[in-house]
Amino acid sequence: MENETGRVEAFSDGVFAIIITILVLELKVPEETGADFWHGVREQWPHYAAYVVSFLIIGVMWVNHHTIFSHLKRVDRPLLFLNLMVLMVVSVIPYTTNVLAEHLTEGGSAGPAAVLYSLVTVAYALAFLLFWWYVTRVGHLFHEQVDKDGARATRVRFGLGAIAYPCTVVLAFFSAPLTLVAHFLIAIYYAANQIPIPLVVEEERLQSASDLRK
């Protein structure tokens, strides 16, 4: 299945594109007209805030997903299902974004809405961690240039989301707006602190090839 990586990534890119577009469609049109129009726009701030945070989260997800596939030489059946599981969780984000935006300023329901939003991000973190764990478990899907031992060593940093996102679930019981801010900061962290997949130094790769020929 060495020719299938491009097809899988193209399918995934299409799903990511649809999901990120749906976020825009969930933005509400102000009902106010005339002199009250800008007041109506301001009243929609929870939708704008939730949109920006979720757009950033999905965007970082896509970047990490693309980075991994750029290092894969082939795919196999388990990876296909793990990839589908990742996409399934990501596709729920527009729904939870809309729920959180609708209830962000509601005292009684803001907390549960924030909990729901955070639980989905926890599910995504776990799904992506499982995806990466499988890719690095044997390393048989990587290009030859990838340092497989080095890639396995990145599991801990990949798994930080499985620790950070559950903390947002706890925070959601206290403040929904702060929970949204926490998700924004986590997304900024992952956007600014990309985890490089180590590559084998060229001399080492040539030495290994020489050893195989012997």
Task: Please report the pLDDT score of residue 205 as a whole number.
Answer: 47
pLDDT tens-place string over residues 167-192: 999 999 999 999 999 999 988 888 87
User: Is 153 or 15 the better-scoring residue by pLDDT?
Assistant: 15
Query: In the structure encoding, which two tokens stand for residue 171, read together?
Result: 């925070």
> Vertex 106, ends 105 and 110: CA angle to 5°?
85
Q: What whole-number distance in Å separates Cα of residue 86 and Cα of residue 141?
A: 18
User: Is 151 or 15 the better-scoring residue by pLDDT?
Assistant: 15
Cβ-contact 111, 173 below 8 angstroms: yes
Query: In the structure encoding, which two tokens stand for residue 71, read together?
Result: 């290092």
pLDDT tens-place string over residues 44-71: 888 899 999 999 999 998 988 888 888 8
Q: Given a cut of 50, is residue 163 above it in pLDDT?
A: yes
DSSP tag of 72: B
